[in-house]
Chain A
Amino acid sequence: GIQVEQSPPDLILQEGANSTLRCNFSDSVNNLQWFHQNPWGQLINLFYIPSGTKQNGRLSATTVATERYSLLYISSSQTTDSGVYFCAVVAAGNQFYFGTGTSLTVIP
């Protein structure tokens, strides 16, 4: 199946800092989503972004499908942004392949 790699694996930020999380995938994709897994384990949809750029408040995402990567930007980070960020892709079929995640800790 398709390989999905995320970097960095771990990130520690001071509150108010900006960050960029990266997702690389090994094949063409039809769907890409970013999720935030909160400390209770819930997967929160952030973006459905198979291509292009989207923004939602302090978060934005860009997917360059032809170069097989996606970026998630977090600006002015807050402690509530802490958790694990996953990207997930769909190539053929109907299954998501999840990346290994970036664990973000925002300290006050």
Chain B
Amino acid sequence: EPEVTQTPSHQVTQMGQEVILRCVPISNHLYFYWYRQILGQKVEFLVSFYNNEISEKSEIFDDQFSVERPDGSNFTLKIRSTKLEDSAMYFCASSVLGARQETQYFGPGTRLLVL
């Protein structure tokens, strides 16, 4: 069964450094998403992406964050200058149709620790 993959599984970085989290969505999917989960809390929406542009973003997704689909398979989340509070699990998800219409499939997550 096709699945969403994410790399790396864990990343440790110093405050102020840039990080890029990578995702490979399921191949025929058209909608892509990033979520984050701070330890012990609920999962929070960051951004959705369709047709090579951001379709929706939350208040969390400020100027420090950016997303890109650099080629036909990868979908990346960049954090420009990491802060301690960016430490969290980051999930990528994808779906064929928009989230209102069908299942979103989640990747296994990247656990980011900012020191």
Contacts and interface: CB of A to CB of B under 8 A. Distances in A.
Interface of A: 30-31, 33, 35, 40-43, 45, 48, 86, 88, 90, 92-101
A48 B103 contact: yes
Interface of B: 31, 33, 35, 37, 42-45, 48, 50, 55-56, 58, 89, 91, 98-106, 108-109, 111
Contacts of B104: 33, 96
Contact of A95 (B37, B50, B99, B102): B99
B109 A100 contact: no
Contact of A33 (B31, B35, B58, B103): B103
A97 B45 contact: yes
Contact of B42 (A42, A95, A101): A101
